[in-house]
Structure 1
Amino acid sequence: MNKSTLTAFEQQWQPRINTYLDENLRSVSDRESLTAAMRYSVLAGGKRLRPLLSLAVLTAFEQPITEINLRASVALELMHTYSLIHDDLPAMDNDGLRRGQPTSHVKFGEDIAILAGDALQPLAFQWLADSGLPAEQVAQLTLGLAQAAGPQGMVAGQVADVQGVGQHLALPALQQLHREKTGALIHYAVLSGAIQAELPTDVRTALLAFGDAFGLAFQIYDDILDVTSTPAQLGKETHKDAGEHKNTYPGLLGLAGAEDALKQAITTAQTALDRAERLSQRDLDLLASFLTYFTN
């Protein structure tokens, strides 16, 4: 794992992703307030981790990235942003800060914030449908994103998160919650790249195992940062999970136990990548470099 590999890839693609989002959200609606709210949350910053994962799969398998691929891959960021807007609402996590700025409902009001999220979700599917990819790929991507975001994916995880407040979840239940709430869209990010690159089933399966382990590591790492970081460092409120009696890995396992679980998830992800390398006879160092995200 080489941190500089990830840094170079981010420097190459994050500006292109941000420019694409900026340019393609300028006239997304004839309702000025809606356009402003959608742009505010999408362009507020962020790592663009999910589309970067999709593009990294394409790059690792030497697939040229066209404007078509970029549109299809960046569509996931719209879905992710919708989830953040709704997650921040008073009825959900009631967060006032996201990426160092006031959350959407604080700036625009709850009504417009909800509607901005409502608009971003179908827009993600629109960008897949009109991307110009082959019809079979569009169908696979649409199905995959719907499953990842819907009642057996991210939304199911959100329900478990909300209903689990004040309850003590055992580790298997906590892992399932986060496979859905956080892991599902990361799983889809890898799936999106694999579909666009037309990878064989065995390689795709190994890569998705990597994506699932990465998603688990991502959530554990986020839970650890909530305990160990300041709002200025994270750009959002910290220490909220414990105060609201939410189920987290440090809360269940202790900080040292959570750090051990993070290491185990990273090892599982690397093992899956090693299998994908053997099956494909490809150098997947670029994908492995994403695991350095957890060494900050």
Structure 2
Amino acid sequence: MTPFEAKLTATAKRTEELLNELLSTDTRPQETARPTHLIEAMHYGALNGGKRLRPFLVVESAAMFGGDREAAFRIGAALECLHSYSLVHDDLPAMDDDKLRRGKPTVHIAFDEATAILAGDALLTYAFDIIAAPETALGDRARIELVLALARAAGVGGMAGGQALDLAAEKRSPDEQGIITLQAMKTGALIRFACEAGAIIASARPEDRMRLRRFGEIVGRAFQLADDLLDLTSDAATLGKAAGKDAARGKGTLVALKGQDWAEAELDRLVEEATDLIAVYGDRAATLIDTARFVAKRKS
């Protein structure tokens, strides 16, 4: 294991410990009760493996500017709850109709469709609860900015809107710019938030926040391009989910449109662009640069 992989693994472990604490049956102030079956489904959906890349980006972006580490972990956990909600709902029969997620039955298969819908609803809501809660030791302004940024990244102009475009793409394939827009919303928006959130946590200068936001946009694009390559070249055992489903559904991707060789070259270009963007921070940017490389070259 490389030093980068060790750091990624350690952050994932801490994030999962925090999610375990947050997704317990113990009620919080102003809650009446936490139904056990629903908590079990939320726990299953949020703690079903994964690299925890988005929380890692929050923690490392905050660290680059000296932000509060524990607050960054809580924001990372909130983001992971929201990301997990999106996966639970995307897997539903009315959406992508997937049976496997990270090598395990999806939530609606392990439980039932109604429970999966409610688990997703609850995870989405809980993300904003975690940010606003007093245990997240940030000033009011930072918490308001985080709530707004995450809502914009997750809503109609971000991830949810991107999923709507993705479903529409099954009936009519978009052109190249349409694919870029769809992917920037569905996948890129939360990765962009993860990087920008670190700057918000650390009260970084506006120009630093915008630089991290742009870095996140580039990494998000690289993440989706690598994902599309894996969908084309890998298998279900390696991916932990169905492979080749984009082609089977007739969805347009940049890989399908421009070819594997172009995609591999574009990934190299995106990593170089991301590196150049934050190289101004010197050694402090090393981990984020390693993350961009990792995203582009990942195998699952």
Q: SS of 1:89's equivalent?
A: coil
Structure 1 CA distance, aligned partners of 2:182 and 2:259? Answer: 18
Structure 1 CA distance, aligned partners of 2:72 and 2:269? Answer: 33
Q: SS of 2:69's equivalent?
A: coil
**Which of 101, 114, 118 pairs up with 1:115?**
118
- The answer to which of 199-208 and 117-126 deviates more is 199-208
Contact (CA 8 Å) 2:58, 2:198: kept in 1 or not?
A: yes
Structure 1 CA distance, aligned partners of 2:85 and 2:239? Answer: 20
Match of 2:55 in 1: 51
**Which of 76, 81, 88 pairs up with 1:85?**
88
TM-score by length of 2: 0.92
Q: SS of 1:283's equivalent?
A: helix
Deviation at 1:217, TM superposition (A): 0.2
Residue type of the alignment partner of 1:194: A
Match of 1:187 in 2: 192
Structure of greater relative contact order (alpha carbons < 8 Å, 6+ residues apart)? 1
Match of 1:196 in 2: 201
Match of 2:128 in 1: 125
Match of 1:37 in 2: 41
How do residues 240-255 of structure 1 correspond to structure 2 at under 5 angstroms? Answer: 240-255=245-260
Match of 2:147 in 1: 142
**Which of 19, 22, 33 pairs up with 1:21?**
19
**Which of 264, 272, 277 pairs up with 1:272?**
277
Q: Deviations over 1:109-149 (max 9, x none)?
A: 11100010000001000000002321101100000000000
Structure 2 CA distance, aligned partners of 1:22 and 1:110? Answer: 23
Contact (CA 8 Å) 1:213, 1:269: kept in 2 or not?
A: yes
Match of 2:29 in 1: none
- After superposition, the Cα gap between the structure-2 partners of 1:92 and 1:232, relative to the gap in structure 1 and judged at 3 Å, is same
- Displaced runs of 4 or more, over 3 A: none
Contact (CA 8 Å) 1:101, 1:235: kept in 2 or not?
A: yes
How do residues 159-174 of structure 1 correspond to structure 2 at under 5 angstroms? Answer: 159-174=164-179
Q: SS of 1:260's equivalent?
A: helix
Residue type of the alignment partner of 1:43: L
Q: Deviations over 1:191-242 (max 9, x none)?
A: 1111001111112211211110000000000000001111110100000110
- The answer to which of 22-31 and 195-204 deviates more is 22-31
Contact (CA 8 Å) 1:71, 1:128: kept in 2 or not?
A: yes
Match of 1:256 in 2: 261
**Is residue 76 of structure 1 aligned with residue 74 of structure 2?**
no
Residue type of the alignment partner of 1:159: A
TM-align CA RMSD: 1.5
Match of 2:30 in 1: none
Deviation at 1:64, TM superposition (A): 4.3
Residue type of the alignment partner of 1:81: S
Q: SS of 1:44's equivalent?
A: coil
Q: Deviations over 1:235-290 (max 9, x none)?
A: 0000011010011122111111222222222222112122x42xxx6631011010
Structure 1 CA distance, aligned partners of 2:283 and 2:143? Answer: 26
How do residues 217-256 of structure 1 correspond to structure 2 at under 5 angstroms? Answer: 217-256=222-261
Structure 1 CA distance, aligned partners of 2:131 and 2:215? Answer: 24
**Which of 83, 90, 102 pairs up with 2:105?**
102
Residue type of the alignment partner of 2:288: L
Structure 1 portions without partners, runs of 5+: none
Residue type of the alignment partner of 1:207: L
Contact (CA 8 Å) 2:89, 2:117: kept in 1 or not?
A: yes
TM-score by length of 1: 0.93
Contact (CA 8 Å) 2:68, 2:202: kept in 1 or not?
A: no
Identity of aligned residues (%): 38
Contact (CA 8 Å) 2:84, 2:123: kept in 1 or not?
A: yes
